[in-house]
Structure formats: C-alpha cells, structure tokens
C-alpha cells in the first residue's frame, strides 16, 4: 500500500513542532520532510535536522532547478519542501510528514489531493500568544507579525480534512494517530491496490 502524505499546519506557536516530534518518535514508519529556509537558525536548531538553512541566493537556485514541491514566503522568510525522496518513500509504503504553512499546504493539496491534511489549533488566541512568548524565540517585531497572521491562517484551517486542538500534546498526538489509522482503512486507498481479499 502506498504511504500517506501527511500535511500538518497551524499558526506559529500552536505546537506543531512539539506534536510532530512526539508523533515521529511513536511512529517509525513516518518520515519527516526537512524543509529549506532562509531564516536564521534558533538556538539548538541544527542544519539538516530541523531545516536546511540556506541563503536567499541558494534558495532562488533551488527554485530555478525545480527542487521544490512547494515554497512560500512566510513571516518575511522563504521556506520550501524539497522534492527529493518524497515520491520514492511513498511508493515504498513509507509515510511522509510535511510541517508547512497554509499557503504551501494548499499548493500541495492541489498537486496531491490524496494527502491527509491536518490543521492544528491552539486552545485559544491568548494561549497561542503565551506559547510563542514562552518559546522565547521571536523578537517583538516577529512576535507581532506571527500573531497578526494567526487569525487569517486559522480561517484557512477550514480547507483542511481534519482539525485537532493542541490542548495537551498527548491528546493531540493520540488524535492524529487515530486519523492515520482511519485513513489507512479508507476503501479508496485499499480497493485501488486490491489489498483487501474481498475486492479481488
């Protein structure tokens, strides 16, 4: 059976990174797609682990060379999903997880309608602000920019297949795992490949 292309989005500070990290530690068949970005690494971030940190010139070269499945400008920096290995992995039956913004996700949805599109929500906007401030990663300017974008981004969440509230990390991870179990049982995914005895 072909692997699942799993796309997770949500406003900055919702907890995507935290939730995805736990999900990946629990599901060894799911591979994280490392994005490229022109933003500066945060403390503790490692090139080639959280992101490929590249210059704007290099990012433009990657675009020209057709290396991205999608890319977008988010909060003043460029972010893109490298194409490498995604198709290969899906064909091998491995799942691929993209943690990308709403513009990128809608672009991928047009290209890959059989993906699983999950929108992560904060319990409230006040809690969202506390989480970004608590992370201590943003300048006042960047914090303002991210909070201003959040309301519009959350509205785009309506275009996704699933909405998961990140109240506690454990609950959010359990809900995403349940979504993935259900997606693998979809008749459309199994019947096409005649994986179910009854359809042969």
Q: Which residues bind ligand ADP (CB under 6 A)?
A: 10, 12-18, 131, 134-135, 166, 168-169
CA 66 to chain centre: 20
| CA geometry: angle 31, 33, 36, nearest 5 deg | 160
**Strand (E) positions, the chain?**
5-9, 30-32, 35-37, 51-53, 68-74, 77-82, 95-99, 116-121, 162-165
Q: Which does 100 bind (CB under 5 to 8 A by kind): ligand ADP, ligand 5GP, none?
A: ligand 5GP
Question: What is the smallest separation between the CB atom of 159 and ligand 5GP, expressed in angstroms?
Answer: 14
Within 21-50, the residues that bind ligand 5GP by CB under 6 A are: 35, 39
Which residues, in sequence order, are bridge partners of residue 121?
Answer: 165
CA atoms within 13 A on the CB side of 24: 16
Q: Does 115 bind ligand 5GP (CB under 6 A)?
A: no
Question: What is the smallest separation between the CB atom of 98 and ligand 5GP, expressed in angstroms?
Answer: 7
Return residues touching ligand 5GP (CB under 6 A): 12, 16, 35, 39, 70, 72, 74-75, 79-81, 99-101, 103-104
């Amino acid at each position: 059976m072909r692997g699942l292309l799993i796309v997770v989005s949500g406003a900055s500070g919702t907890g995507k990174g935290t939730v995805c990290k736990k999900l990946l530690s629990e599901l060894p068949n799911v591979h994280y797609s490392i994005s490229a970005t022109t933003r500066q690494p945060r403390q503790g971030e490692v090139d080639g682990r959280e992101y490929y940190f590249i210059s704007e010139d290099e990012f433009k070269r990657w675009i020209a060379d057709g290396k991205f499945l999608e890319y977008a400008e988010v909060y003043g920096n460029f972010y893109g999903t490298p194409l490498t290995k995604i198709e290969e992995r899906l064909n091998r039956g491995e799942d691929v997880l993209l943690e990308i913004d709403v513009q990128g996700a809608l672009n991928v949805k047009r290209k890959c309608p059989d993906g699983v599109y999950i929108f992560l929500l904060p319990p409230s906007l006040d809690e969202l602000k506390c989480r970004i401030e608590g992370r201590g990663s943003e300048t006042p300017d960047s914090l303002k920019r991210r909070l201003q974008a959040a309301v519009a981004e959350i509205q785009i969440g309506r275009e996704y297949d699933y909405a998961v509230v990140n109240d506690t990390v454990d609950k959010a991870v359990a809900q995403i795992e349940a979504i993935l179990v259900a997606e693998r049982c979809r008749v459309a995914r199994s019947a096409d490949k005649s994986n179910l005895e009854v359809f042969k």
